[in-house]
Structure 1
Amino acid sequence: MDKITRQIRIEHWTQIMNECLNSGMNKTEWCRANGISDKQFFYWQRILRKEAFAALTSKELSVITDPADETSPRKISFAEISLPIKQEPVRNGFQPDIIIRKGSVSVEISNSVSAELLSRIGEIFHAE
């Protein structure tokens, strides 16, 4: 079977498979109701699944950039790019012992904070 004939049959059976799926019927019942051989249906289902799997696992993807130019799809290769891990810089050598966040507000506190200041911070967060 040449490529054009195969492509036409694949398109034809893809349409048949979609009609079957959209009907909501059991595949065998749908085949009987539409005069299609079960064996032929499941044969083409297997072929279409293999085609879909091959397309998913392919490293190159065919992309048609202009619908009018469907005869010459372009090949596009993808490469994985790793991004550096974003770390917040330590400011003025201060390393907080605790960070309290509420909404968009963030308060960094050290263990040397006074009880009075800690109480006021608690009141502010409680007031919101």
Structure 2
Amino acid sequence: MSKKHEFQLQRWKLLIEDRIKSGMKVRDWCDANGVTKDAYYYWLAKLREEHYEEAVQSLSTEKISTNTFVELPMPKQSCQIPQTVLPDPANTA
């Protein structure tokens, strides 16, 4: 990316942040600041594209951990699981 393009992106980033902070509608802000709506939306799209590319690059460089299994030792005492007392089917009448 050229220095000129970087400069323009930074300039438009500040302008778009100013528009958002102002709370004005895009049309009103553009009229008040001598900016065409076409230029505003062009640079907004460029900034979104730039941020998207940065996000994709950061995701692709992140190390993704893998799940692993760990063997756990058996407890020294055996666990006694109580048996549920069920009615004897022969004694049901």
Q: Which residue of 2 aligns with 1:92?
A: 76
Q: Which residue of 1 aligns with 2:63?
A: 79
TM-score normalised by length of structure 1: 0.54
In structure 2, the residue corresponding to 1:22 is in which secondary structure? helix
What fraction of aligned residue pairs are identical, expressed as a percent?
18
Larger relative contact order (Cα-Cα within 8 Å, sequence gap ≥ 6): 2
**Shift, 1:60, TM fit:** 7.7
Q: CA RMSD in A?
A: 2.7
User: Cα distance 1:30–1:87, how it changes in 2: closer, same or farther (>3 A)?
Assistant: farther
User: Cα distance 1:35–1:19, how it changes in 2: closer, same or farther (>3 A)?
Assistant: same
**Shift, 1:83, TM fit:** 4.4
Greater helix content: 2
Q: Following TM superposition, where does structure 1 have runs of at least 4 consecutive aligned residues deviating by more than 3 angstroms?
A: 85-90
User: Cα distance 1:86–1:32, how it changes in 2: closer, same or farther (>3 A)?
Assistant: farther
Q: Which runs of 5+ in 2 are unaligned?
A: 84-93
Greater strand content: 1
